[in-house]
């Protein structure tokens, strides 16, 4: 297994900072606090270990430094960014700096007053999450009663004149409702609908056995999406993010490690990808101690998987490596125990069988409305602490049992 705590001199020499483009996209994860408890949350399962948040001044510094580096798109995310009462101050500064700003929210706390204040501060765009088109499933999957509130918030967002993306994470439970979810988005006047099939990191990885759909569910949902695209035209642009477990080639994750994406976690850790915290040994630089420019261009964490020098076989000699860049490092670690391995989604990977077996198991076990009694682990502080304790055992994640009860 590649030890990420050791410097990778040969890698850095092949990934010269002079060839590195500036970041384009800053994701400011303002807090891990969240009123929802979604079973597929991508936040790290050990988020309770990283609960100290940057101050307003520190976040303002991050925004200025990231803009000076060249970042142009800014997402305010979390957890739930609205639990920070300085959000309007940060939005105002982001607008002054020239960022295009997007608020990524569950809608909880998005009152008319805050919408008005955010509009005045210059917020450009809002992405509102739903878990389903039905109250029953929306509230079950988030372990909260928020469906009605989200409906009201969606109407308020449109009244305030914001462009709106509805986001719905898809999985075995709600894939059969894709037509209703699209109808809901159309009725709400959303300009965009993002139907994002679950990516299995963080909490979703622990709930994979419960969430993984069947290939048939996916095919049917895609056909429904195509039908609506044909009949609705540009009224609402529908994105359908395919789950890569069903592919034979991996995704070009984050469009390349350290290529365009720069995340900053609530405690100031700088992230080359959403799930980088899951990679043991990778020392994440912190904006409290290291200038952002140095983090982006010189840190070991951001240089570690740039370029091709880090690759092992079969990626190293693969004629497709420039297209997919070896796939996802976090998925490679979660499934094989080594982040420098080929992403097992690729059928050239010696571990591809693991992905095939997950899909096979989903097909064998899935029946309509069946998995409710299974032990889904909802994202909450108690489960985070339990999982941290379980993960401190010697067993690596690719060998750990799935679906522990919460």
**Closest distance to ligand FES from the beta carbon of 329 (Å):** 4
**Contacting ligand FES (CB under 6 A), which of 108, 126, 269, 275?**
275
User: CB-wise, 301 or 328, nearer to ligand FES?
Assistant: 328
Q: Is 87 in the site for ligand FES (CB under 6 A)?
A: no
User: CB-wise, 164 or 254, nearer to ligand FES?
Assistant: 254
**Contacting ligand FES (CB under 6 A), which of 165, 169, 221, 254?**
254
User: CB-wise, 83 or 260, nearer to ligand FES?
Assistant: 260
Output phi, psi for 179, to 5 deg.
Answer: -60, -40
**Contacting ligand FES (CB under 6 A), which of 171, 206, 274, 306?**
274
**Closest distance to ligand FES from the beta carbon of 79 (Å):** 18
User: CB-wise, 115 or 265, nearer to ligand FES?
Assistant: 265
Per DSSP, the three-state class of 63 is: helix
E strand map for 97-247: 100-105, 125-130, 164-170, 192-197, 237-241
From 308, 325, 329, select the one nearest 15 (Cα to Cα). 308
Distance CA(98)–CA(96), nearest Å, equals: 5
Q: Detail the residues annotated as belonging to a binding site for [4Fe-4S] cluster.
A: 34, 38, 41
User: CB-wise, 62 or 279, nearer to ligand FES?
Assistant: 279
User: CB-wise, 173 or 201, nearer to ligand FES?
Assistant: 201
**Closest distance to ligand FES from the beta carbon of 274 (Å):** 6
Q: Is 355 in the site for ligand FES (CB under 6 A)?
A: no
From 160, 82, 75, select the one nearest 119 (Cα to Cα). 160
User: CB-wise, 287 or 330, nearer to ligand FES?
Assistant: 330
Q: Is 306 in the site for ligand FES (CB under 6 A)?
A: no
For strands 270-271 and 261-264, give the pairing: antiparallel
> How far is C-alpha 33 from the chain's CA centre?
16
Size of the site for ligand FES (CB under 6 A): 10
Q: Is 41 in the site for ligand FES (CB under 6 A)?
A: no
Residues 321 to 350: which contact ligand FES by CB under 6 A?
328-330
Burial of residue 163 (number of CB atoms within 10 Å: 0-12, 13-18, 19+):
middle
Q: Is 273 in the site for ligand FES (CB under 6 A)?
A: yes
* Helix 352-365 and helix 215-232, axial crossing angle in degrees, nearest 10: 80
Cis amide leading into 27 (omega within 30): no
**Closest distance to ligand FES from the beta carbon of 339 (Å):** 8
Q: Do residues 301 and 309 touch, judged by C-beta distance below 8 A?
A: no
**Closest distance to ligand FES from the beta carbon of 216 (Å):** 27
Q: Detail the residues annotated as belonging to a binding site.
A: 34, 38, 41
Q: Do residues 342 and 51 touch, judged by C-beta distance below 8 A?
A: no
Query: What DSSP assignment string belongs to 347-399?
Result: TTSTTHHHHHHHHHHHHHH--TT-GGGS-----SHHHHHHHHHHHTSS--TTT
Residues 202 to 241: which contact ligand FES by CB under 6 A?
none
Cis amide leading into 138 (omega within 30): no
**Contacting ligand FES (CB under 6 A), which of 69, 276, 282, 295?**
276
**Closest distance to ligand FES from the beta carbon of 260 (Å):** 13
- Candidates 107-115, 155-163, 267-275, 386-394: pick the segment binding ligand FES (CB under 6 A): 267-275
Interacting residues toward ligand FES by CB under 6 A: 201, 253-254, 273-276, 328-330
């Amino acid at each position: 297994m590649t030890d990420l705590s050791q410097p990778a001199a040969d890698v850095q020499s092949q990934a010269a900072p002079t060839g590195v483009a500036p970041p384009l996209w800053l994701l400011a994860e303002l807090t891990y606090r969240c009123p929802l408890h979604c079973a597929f949350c991508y936040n790290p399962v050990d988020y309770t270990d990283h609960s100290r948040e940057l101050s307003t001044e520190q976040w303002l510094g991050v925004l200025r430094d990231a803009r000076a580096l060249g970042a142009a798109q800014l997402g305010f995310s979390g957890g739930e960014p609205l639990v920070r009462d300085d959000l309007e101050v940060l939005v105002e500064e982001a607008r002054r700096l020239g960022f295009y700003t997007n608020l990524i929210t569950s809608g909880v706390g998005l009152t008319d007053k805050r919408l008005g204040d955010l509009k005045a501060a210059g917020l450009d765009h809002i992405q509102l999450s739903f878990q389903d088109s039905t109250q029953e499933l929306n509230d079950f999957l988030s372990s909260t009663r928020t469906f009605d509130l989200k409906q009201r918030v969606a109407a308020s967002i449109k009244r305030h004149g914001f462009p709106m993306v509805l986001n719905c994470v898809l999985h075995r439970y709600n894939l059969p409702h894709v037509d209703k979810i699209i109808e809901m988005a159309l009725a709400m006047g959303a300009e965009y609908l993002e139907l994002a099939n679950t990516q299995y990191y963080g909490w979703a990885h622990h709930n994979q056995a419960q969430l993984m759909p069947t290939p048939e569910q996916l095919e049917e949902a895609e056909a429904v999406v195509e039908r609506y695209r044909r009949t609705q035209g540009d009224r609402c642009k529908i994105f359908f993010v395919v789950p890569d477990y069903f592919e034979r080639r991996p995704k070009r994750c984050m469009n390349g490690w350290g290529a365009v994406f720069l995340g900053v976690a609530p405690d100031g850790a700088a992230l080359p990808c959403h799930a980088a915290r899951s990679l043991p040994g990778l020392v994440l630089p912190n904006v409290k101690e290291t200038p952002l420019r140095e983090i982006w261009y010189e840190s070991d964490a951001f240089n570690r998987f740039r370029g091709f020098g880090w690759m092992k076989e079969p990626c190293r000699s693969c004629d497709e490596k420039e297209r997919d860049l070896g796939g996802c490092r976090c998925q490679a670690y979660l499934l094989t125990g080594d982040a420098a391995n080929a992403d097992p989604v690729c059928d050239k990977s010696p571990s591809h069988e693991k992905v095939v077996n997950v899909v096979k198991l989903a097909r064998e076990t899935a029946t309509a409305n069946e998995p409710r009694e299974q032990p889904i682990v909802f994202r909450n502080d108690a489960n985070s602490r339990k999982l941290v304790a379980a993960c401190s055992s010697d067993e690596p994640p690719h060998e750990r049992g799935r679906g522990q009860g919460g």
